[in-house]
Amino acid sequence: MPTYLPIEVTPIIRASHSNLLQLRWAKQGVVADFIIPENNQDALRVQFLRTEMIRIIEEMPISTESEETPNDGLIAEHFAYEVQGASFWNQQSEAFKVVYQKAKHYRFITGFYCLDVIASNEPIFTVVPTSAFPS
């Protein structure tokens, strides 16, 4: 059974009203930009300086993964979590877990997609103007 540890993010994002705007690799990490509901001028940037693995998946397949229910600590409309004991982490090889001992599993939930990240460092949150994004 997975345990969700909420990560407090400012500004507060109502998960069902957000979505992933863009995702890109940056050196050894990943940068993901998310819609801030009711704010068309800015986006929430989530950056990992070192990323080992990611997946983007709709919420429906996550809810049907055998180990994923019940979900301890999951809060309605909450956006960011550290997750312990979820299928995505459990399915990784023992060799992967030995090599990346400091890595943790993070999940970002929106109304459309979930972003899972296994990373060796904590996420960095910043607000960026959407005017900087390509059209």
pLDDT in tens, 77-126: 999 999 999 889 999 999 999 999 999 999 999 998 899 999 999 999 99
What residues contact 130, with CB distance under 8 A and at least 6 apart? 21, 40, 41, 42, 43
- Confirm whether 52 is domain-assigned: yes
- Confirm whether 135 is domain-assigned: no
Domain that holds residue 55: 3-130
- Confirm whether 87 is domain-assigned: yes
- Confirm whether 107 is domain-assigned: yes
How many domains are there within the chain? 1
107, 113 Cβ separation under 8 angstroms:
no
pLDDT in tens, 41-66: 999 999 999 999 999 988 655 555 55
* Beta bridge partner(s), residue 22: 33
> Other CB atoms closer than 10 Å to residue 72's CB: what's the count?
11
